[in-house]
Amino acid sequence: MTPAAVHTCAEPRPPHTPADSSGQRPPLYSLRNLVKEFDGPGEKVSVLQGLNLDIQEGESAAVVGASGSGKSTFLHILGTLAEPGGGELYFRGTNMRTLDAGAKARLRNESIGFVFQFHHLLPEFTTLENVAMQAVIGGCPMQAALDKAADILERVGLAGRARFAVGLLSGGERQRAAIARALMQDPVVLLADEPTGNLDEKNGMLVAELLVRLNAEQGTAMVVATHNPELAGRMARRFELKSGELYEQSR
Ligand SMILES: Nc1ncnc2c1ncn2[C@@H]1O[C@H](COP(=O)(O)OP(=O)(O)OP(=O)(O)O)[C@@H](O)[C@H]1O
Ligand SMILES: [Mg+2]
Mutate to test the pocket of ligand 1, among 48, 69, 81 (most ligand atoms within 8 A of CB): 69
For the ranges 32-36, 179-183, 221-225, which has the lowest average pLDDT? 179-183
User: Is the CB of 70 inside a 6 Å radius of any atom of ligand 1?
Assistant: yes
Where does residue 176 rank: exposed (0-12), middle (13-18), buried (19+ CB within 10 A)? buried
Whole-number average pLDDT of the chain: 90
Query: Would you say residue 18 lies in a domain?
Result: no
Query: Which residue among 48, 72, 78 is best mutated to probe the pocket of ligand 1, counting the most ligand atoms within 8 A of its Cβ?
Result: 72
Q: Report d(CA 129, CA 57) in Å as an integer.
A: 30
pLDDT at 171: 87
Tell me if 42 CB under 6 Å of ligand 1. no
C-alpha of residue 38 to centroid of ligand 1, in Å: 9
- The number of the ligand 1 atom at minimal distance from the alpha carbon of 227 is 25
Question: E strands within the chain?
Answer: 29-39, 44-55, 60-64, 86-91, 94-95, 112-115, 189-193, 221-225, 237-242, 245-249
Q: How far is the CA of 198 from the centre of ligand 2 (A)?
A: 13
Model confidence at 119, pLDDT cuts 50, 70, 90, reads confident
The CA 197 to ligand 2 mean position distance, Å, reads 10
Q: What is the pLDDT of residue 13?
A: 60
Contact 235, 64 (CB under 8 A): no
Structural domain contains residue 92: yes
* Ligand 1 geometric centre to CA of 160 (Å): 36
Element (H, E) at 78: helix 71-78
Q: How far apart are the first and last CA of the chain?
A: 41
**pLDDT higher for 40 or 105?**
105
Contact present, 152 and 230 (Cβ < 8 Å):
no
pLDDT at 6: 44
Q: Quick check: 130 pLDDT over 90?
A: yes
In a domain, 11, yes or no: no
Task: Tell me the C-alpha to C-alpha distance, in Å, between residue 184 and each of 9, 35, 52, 129.
Answer: 8, 31, 30, 12
Residue type, 84: P
Overall average pLDDT of the 107-114 stretch: 92
pLDDT digits (tens, 9 = 90+) for 199-211: 888 888 888 999 9
Give ion ligand 2 contacts, CB < 5 A. 71-72, 117
**109 pLDDT more than 50:** yes
4 occurs within a structural domain: no
Task: Give the best-scoring range by mean pLDDT among 12-26, 58-72, 110-124.
Answer: 58-72
Range of the domain at 226: 26-249
- The CATH number assigned to the domain holding 181 equals 3.40.50.300
* Of 150-159, 179-188, 199-208, 239-248, highest mean pLDDT: 239-248
Confirm whether 62 is domain-assigned.
yes
Q: Which of 198, 200, 202, 207 is nearest to 232 (CA)?
A: 207
The whole-number pLDDT of residue 1 equals 41
Q: What is the pLDDT of residue 18?
A: 65
Nearest CA to ligand 1 atom 2: 38
Other beta carbons within 10 Å of 80: 20
What average pLDDT does the segment 66-91 reach?
Answer: 96
**pLDDT at residue 2 is higher than 70:** no
- Whether 155 has a pLDDT exceeding 90, the answer reads no
- What percent of the chain stands above pLDDT 90? 73
> Which of 117-121, 146-150, 184-188 comes out lowest in average pLDDT?
117-121
Q: Is residue 3 in a domain?
A: no
**pLDDT band at residue 17, thresholds of 50, 70 and 90?**
low
- Indicate which atom in ligand 1 lies nearest the CA of residue 40: 4
In a domain, 12, yes or no: no
pLDDT at res. 41? 85
Number of domains in the chain: 1
Residues 211/182, Cβ–Cβ less than 8 Å: no
What pLDDT is attached to residue 12? Answer: 59
Is the CB–ligand 1 distance for residue 82 below 6 Å?
no
- CA–chain centroid gap for 235, Å, is 14
How many Cβ atoms are within 10 Å of 48's Cβ, its own excluded? 23
- Looking at the CA of 116, name the nearest ligand: 2
Is 21 inside a domain boundary? no
Query: Band of the pLDDT at 120, cuts 50, 70, 90?
Result: confident
Would you place residue 198 in the very low, low, confident or very high pLDDT band (cuts 50, 70, 90)? confident
